[in-house]
Chain A
Amino acid sequence: MSEFLVNIEHERLSFFTPVGEVKALNDVSFHIKEGEVLGIVGESGSGKSVTAYSLMGLTAYPGKLLGGTLDFNGHRINDMTEKEMQKMRGNEVSIIFQDPMTSLNPVYTIGNQIREVLKLHTNKTKKEIQERAVELLELVGINEPKKRLKQYPHELSGGMRQRVMIAIALACEPKLLIADEPTTALDVTIQAQILELMMELKDKLGMAIMMITHDLGVVASMCDHIAVMYAGNIVEYGTTDDIFYRPKHEYTKGLIRSIPRMDTTEHERLIPIEGTPVDLLNPPKGCPFASRCDNCMRICLREKAPVIHFDDVHYSTCWMNQKAELEGGTKQ
């Protein structure tokens, strides 16, 4: 197998709904090395979560993987049976969801839900499992862990519950932690705490993180690499510096323009990206972003732009770059 922990190549995935085929992922490729943090950014419906779920074999009905290969930690996800996948989930790869308020089962204690995953994937005795559960709660910074284990989710705050979710996710020391907008439902101060905790734990445990978010601020501070997704495509991929300082795709540029800045003296208006996301039932022939793009050219509407590599890592799919290249690289 390859040097990568995660290697997704040309993944295509559609949801077959009664009204037609929704092309959720069109040719998505990326990889994650061990211990690396990859941020996946994009607006709602761009395919961030779908990518993550498909990697865990959790694609919801009526979704169907149509093509491409997904490799994780030496497994070819495409060929795995449900049983093998169950062994992998929660063990080698874990996930934290967006809403901690609803992600824990309300009728079981925290302890029950943490022990459950340990019981499933380890051969520990009852006593060891209990000790590990206490240890995990300490690890995620929950005080009085012994008392907490006996409490129900509704007795904890949102931040606490997300910590519990992280504890559950980390129980078996996974190689990859998928964080699906882990801070969206939390208030800002708690957000910072949770992100800090995740980074701290990453350094401690050496796992890779796939950080799904629509918050550029989150990825800027955490990620090694960033993939920008739009309408089921990765439109730009690069290091964090590439994305923030040398964005190549018009969509990425638009995203960055819409971040509030602290360093301007005058009152500067935020520039939103106009228009609405494309309808994935009938994706356009050309570049999916064309209809919202300020610099849209004729070719953008007709044809999809090829992938253009700027260096070993940084690539993008935008005709503007092609144009720049054809004109002798004068335009950035």
Chain B
Amino acid sequence: MVKYILKRLGMAVVTIWLVATLTFFLMNMVPGGPFLSEKAVSPKALAALEEKYGLDKPLFEQYLTYIKGAIHGDFGDSLKQRGRTVMSIISSKFPVSARIGGLSVLLAFSLGVPLGCISALNRGKIGDNIIIVIATCGIAVPSFVICTLLMYTFGVKLGWLPTLGLKTWKHYIMPVAALAFYPTAYITRLMRSSMLDVLGQDYMRTARAKGLNQFVSLFKHALRNAILPIVTYLGPLIAYTVTGSFIVEKIFTIPGLGGEFISSITNRDYTIIMGTTIFLATLVILMNVVVDIVYKLVDPRINLK
């Protein structure tokens, strides 16, 4: 087990390096640069800026410098936000996104799993149909529509919830709900199909033949088998959700990391692009390792090698 984790972490370093390299060169292939804006910058000033950030050097040299810095934990300064390092931006914005993302994953999991179970147990009946229709909507409707609808209904019409910022717990309700909508729907559907599959298994018949009641056979025998696909989905979901959503953050004006991803790209803020990409990649890889370990705990047939 320990050996396996170490091996996976070793592979993770290689993967992250590949991601960093690829991003670095792709990013530089895109036309434009951090200091080209509508306001004309004098050639002299531009040259000075480029020299300051080392952008005048050959690309490969820039790459080596960056990697060297990254290994030592120095991801550079933001090119656009003067006086701020990449690390300080991520560490100030990530907690905001993580809080909202974490809550919404929690909500999606604790809502999706029971809903999926209920749906599977009432297969073909009215309860199942209602849940499936809602879940399909949840998958089909884009998050900006949901955000706007929520905002309009609860924020404007009813006036129950604040629409901007993150001052009190009330501020969290709408963004968390909006962010949780899609994963809840997805988990519900996943859980339903996986539960239906498990309910038809021979060991469920064995459980009933033993004289176990429905409750025990469901919770003990079915759930643990049926939850496996959810665990798989949860890994990347957590990674992507805690790093924030551009749309939800924009609409509810939340200073999170999701916005940073997009704006860094439109701004050609090279160091931020690199920093956030590496951060997300690391998180995804870490979550996948965690998923594998959880998998092993849930299903003894899985062999970690």
Contacts and interface: CB of A to CB of B under 8 A. Distances in A.
Contact of A89 (B202, B208, B221): B208
A102 B212 contact: no
Contact of A58 (B205, B224, B300): B205
B224 A107 contact: yes
Contact of A106 (B210, B212, B301): B301
B122 to A, nearest CB: 11
Give the bracket for the number of chain A residues in contact with chain B.
Answer: 20 to 34
Contact of A107 (B207, B210, B299): B299
A105 B210 contact: no
Contacts, number: 69
Contacts of A295: none
B202 A99 contact: yes
Contacts of A120: 210-212
A33 to B, nearest CB: 23
B212 A116 contact: yes
Contacts of A253: none
Nearest to B209: A95
Contacts of A102: 201-203
Name the prevailing secondary structure of the B interface residues. Answer: helix
Contact of A117 (B201, B211, B221, B299): B211
B205 A97 contact: yes
Contact of B203 (A95, A103, A121): A103
Interface residues of B, number: 20
Contacts of B299: 106-107
A103 B301 contact: no
B213 A86 contact: yes
Interface in B191-215: 201-203, 205-213
B225 A91 contact: no
Contacts of B208: 58, 89
A296 B109 CA distance: 63
Given A105-B221, A107-B299, A107-B300, A87 B211 contact: yes
Interface in A286-311: none
Contact of B207 (A83, A105, A152): A105
28 contacts: A58-B205, A82-B213, A86-B212, A86-B213, A88-B211, A89-B209, A89-B210, A90-B211, A90-B212, A97-B202, A97-B206, A97-B209, A103-B202, A103-B205, A103-B206, A105-B207, A105-B221, A106-B203, A106-B299, A106-B300, A106-B301, A107-B225, A107-B298, A108-B220, A116-B210, A120-B212, A152-B300, A168-B206
CB-based closest 3 A-B pairs: A89-B211, A90-B211, A90-B210
